[in-house]
Structure 1
Amino acid sequence: MDLTHLFIHWSNMNLIYQYNHLKIAIESKPIGGYRGKVGTLTVSHANYLVFTEWSKEDLTNLAAITQKILQIHEKEHISNSLIFGRQRAITFVPYPRCNWYEKVQGAYHAIFGSSILKQNQIDQISQFYRTAFKNMDFESDIESLPTLEKPLKKPADPFCKDVVLSKQRIATVSKEGENYEILHDNRPKGRLKKDPHILIIPSAESGHVDGSKVPLKRRIHMLELVQKTMQIFEKEKFKDCLYLERNGKKLQSVPHKHSHIIGIQFPKNRWERIRAFLRLLLPSALSKPELKKRIDLYKPHFVA
């Protein structure tokens, strides 16, 4: 990201709240455009650090902020929210209707950008979130966030089945007794088919917990793995790394908690953006040899 782009990025933000080193602000050029008072929020580092440089404490704070923002959305009966992250900011996008139009609109804005909100819209969103955060005892609320516990049994989904996981598995990573599957997506959604696309998935029934009910420790574990994956992609000279997480049944393609991390060279011209948009909507599958090559490439980074 060049300095001009960075300046524009910061100038488009409206600070709502700061928790330790992390700033929570309104994004005035949001993915999805104006969606009412429950608008799009952006979290960034007060010291202008990129996500791959955030400390363990920063990741813990981001996990807590994530839970609080999702709680605010859910109280407003918005159960579907997208977390869209790049190196310098993590954005929280509400999907109040979560119909095909909102989904396509969100994908379009992620590639082509969106128009700036009107000042009265920014004021409405600011007033709503300032009131929401003012009414929180943030420190004590964090202590009361969900802890790790055995989730209720639900019907098995594709990410519960080893016959699916074994075809895409890079590694299984254990953190504090919790297992996480590291997979390579068989239909990568980067700008080019060769761009890496890794999934972080809580193993088995742990993945059936969604939204603000995800235990804080599990969010921290997943963010640590997201950060590690981005660091790997950075070493491979990918200038942009995307972090995606869908919350809510209507927004998820598989009803199992998971995070996407994609290494890309962000499209520079309109033709590249059109191709990237089409790949995002209709990604083509990797062949078995191509997928195995990706798995073999990343396995040493995750297997001790």
Structure 2
Amino acid sequence: MHTTQLAGLLLIAGLLCACGADKPGAATAGSDGRAAAPAAAPSGDASAEDVAATARGDVDCPVDAAPNAPGTPVDDIVGVRPGMSYEQAANAVMCSGPLLVIKPENSRGFEINTFGQTVRQGFSARFAEPRVNKSGRQIMQEMERDAMARGMNAVRQDMQPGQSKWFVATMGMPGQEKAISVAREQWFEQDRNPTVDSVEQALLEKYGASTERNDQGDTHQLRWAYDPRGRLITETSPLFNRCRGAADPDSGVSLSADCGLVVAANVVPLRGNPALAQYLQVGVVDQAGGYQALTDTQQGLQAMDAERRAQQVRDAGKNAQAPQL
């Protein structure tokens, strides 16, 4: 059973941890690294296509993604990979589906001292939904249905067949943020579900021999883990149980300077036929690169604030009011 969880990113090795709610200095919207001004709420009914067209703006497709260097691990999900700039990653995500709309995430991010600066720490993407004006009675009826479903512990999926969603975590100095992890969930179209075996085979063909294959309940899990030098981690490595990723876009990831690239995949079968796949989750994280980006960003922000305070002292030497004694 797939349920939505709102989880912050987690940082291991005792440096930093993620926050799960808006806090001073948390990532906010705005392509230039500043908080975006609130936009006027649109009104009137609109199709999903119209909603997407308005929200997406200019999208440059297809994405001109450079191939992986020979001998290096495959690190992309549909062309989106760690190391892309915030803008490049957002554009590439929208190129993966004409109805996908980007939403900057303010409630998921690392709990770092930004010294008053705005650091964009990631964005999500989902399919646009039709905008329908509803009467008060319709709204009340929906609330009653939701309350009844919760009371009966009914499973409420947040995805429909044929849809996908993303989460991309980013880090860097304001305006220079880059992706450090990418995760995507794809629900297969109704009556066009592939077999679980064919999905696993497609994953192995793209990412190569896996570090681990494991079944958790009905979910089939695969993992490709590498050390910082790009060497595949095997069962005999001391890093085997340490270097893990997160396939679910709603889950957090861990970062460690001892781990390199980690790709994780979950293949979830159809309830009525476990031989067929209902949806696929794939996540990739550059653990060592992300850890370094966090460290560099924190140090850069601290240095920027130290220079600000030093400049205030210099200005005070010229313009400060003398005390009356």
Q: TM-score, normalised by structure 2?
A: 0.27
Larger radius of gyration: 2
Larger helix proportion of the pair: 1
